[in-house]
């Protein structure tokens, strides 16, 4: 019995390996300053929703990294509210075949998260029950521990955030090209200075494309030479002056700096609950005064 189940499980992993969309994204140089994504071309993108105000509403993005874990930003979480995650969505306004909602059974924010300086702005959400991978619901890959994207790396940010400063939230998933700004530049005084640490990734800052309110927690994605996609950043903060400010790139928590924390957090939960099949999936995918605001 175990051999049969395990064989089926291995076939499932092969069919739905991380980072390969069944519907490849159409990539262009044009979130704010972005464009509608091809439906289901970013199948790891999730909508984190809270019950604040009586009904479920989108508050942040997130990234599916296994059959039961989602990566998001710690500043998205308020312990006074309940949360759920919607997966397999393109439009948040329409009913879509294959989309599902899962309860946030457990939310674990980084123990050293600092809201004042936005340090360690990362959290994990455990889904209940675990999801079944499909063509429209797949995990992104995680980068190697300590890997740093070079300056100029062509990345994409995705989300249902505001289409412009103080504008409406997007109904359909948006994508925008955001080149990486190296830490040696982003940490300069006229950029983000000491607010930008070496555990963050800066991207954008050209005054044209950026993340915006509602994109928080979502992914900064980079395509590997083999065609797979890694999640290198978690949307953390941007300029308080607006969503498209020159020399104020969107700032992301750098995922590669937290691989040990991610693995330890998931593995400790595994030791408590003993989900052997799910853990196999998890580990195989494996300012002067600055004006800024969480987005």
Closest CA to 121 of 82, 77, 151: 77
Residues 241-281 pLDDT 10s = 777 778 889 999 999 999 999 999 999 887 655 444 443 34
Q: Which of 216, 239, 256, 257 is catalytic?
A: 216
pLDDT number for residue 250:
92
Q: Is 239 considered catalytic here? A: no
Residues 35-92 pLDDT 10s = 899 999 999 999 999 998 778 999 999 999 999 999 999 999 999 999 999 999 999 9
The pLDDT mean for the chain works out to 86
Crossing angle of helices 2-15 and 276-284, in 10° steps, is: 30
Q: Which CATH class is domain 154-256?
A: mainly beta
Query: What does the domain layout of the chain look like in residue ranges?
Result: 154-256
Q: Is 121 considered catalytic here? A: yes
Q: Which of 58, 110, 121, 232 is catalytic?
A: 121
Cβ(124)–Cβ(71) below 8 Å: yes
Q: Which of 58, 75, 90, 183 is catalytic?
A: 75
C-alpha separations of 202 from 139, 141, 224, 228, 247 in Å: 23, 20, 19, 22, 10
d(CA 226, CA 57): 36
pLDDT number for residue 109:
98
d(CA 261, CA 215): 23
Name the pTM for this structure.
Answer: 0.86
pLDDT number for residue 31:
59
Q: Is 269 considered catalytic here? A: no
């Amino acid at each position: 019995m175990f051999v049969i189940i395990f064989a089926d499980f291995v076939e499932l992993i092969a069919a739905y390996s991380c980072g390969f969309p069944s519907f490849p994204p159409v990539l262009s140089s044009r979130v704010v300053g972005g464009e509608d994504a091809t439906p289901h071309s970013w199948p790891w993108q999730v909508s984190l929703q809270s019950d604040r105000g009586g009904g479920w509403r989108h508050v942040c993005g997130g990234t599916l990294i296994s059959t039961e874990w989602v990566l998001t930003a710690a500043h998205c979480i308020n312990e006074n509210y309940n949360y759920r995650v919607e997966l397999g969505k393109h439009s948040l306004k329409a009913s879509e075949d294959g989309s599902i909602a899962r309860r946030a059974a457990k939310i674990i924010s980084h123990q050293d998260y600092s809201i004042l300086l936005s340090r360690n702005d990362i959290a994990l959400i455990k889904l209940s029950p675990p999801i079944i991978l499909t063509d429209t619901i797949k995990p992104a890959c995680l980068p190697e521990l300590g890997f740093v994207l070079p300056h100029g790396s062509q990345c994409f940010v995705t989300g249902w955030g505001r289409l412009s400063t103080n504008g409406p939230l997007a109904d359909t998933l948006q994508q925008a090209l955001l080149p990486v700004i190296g830490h040696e530049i982003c940490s300069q005084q006229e950029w983000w200075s000491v607010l930008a640490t070496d555990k963050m990734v800066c991207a954008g800052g050209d005054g044209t494309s950026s993340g915006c309110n509602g994109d928080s927690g979502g992914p900064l994605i980079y395509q590997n030479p083999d065609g797979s996609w890694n999640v290198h950043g978690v949307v953390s903060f941007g300029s308080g002056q607006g969503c498209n400010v020159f020399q104020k790139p969107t700032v992301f928590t750098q995922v590669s700096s937290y691989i040990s924390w991610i693995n330890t957090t998931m593995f400790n939960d595994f030791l408590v609950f003993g989900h052997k099949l799910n853990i196999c999936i998890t580990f195989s995918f494996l300012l002067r005064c600055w004006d800024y605001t969480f987005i």
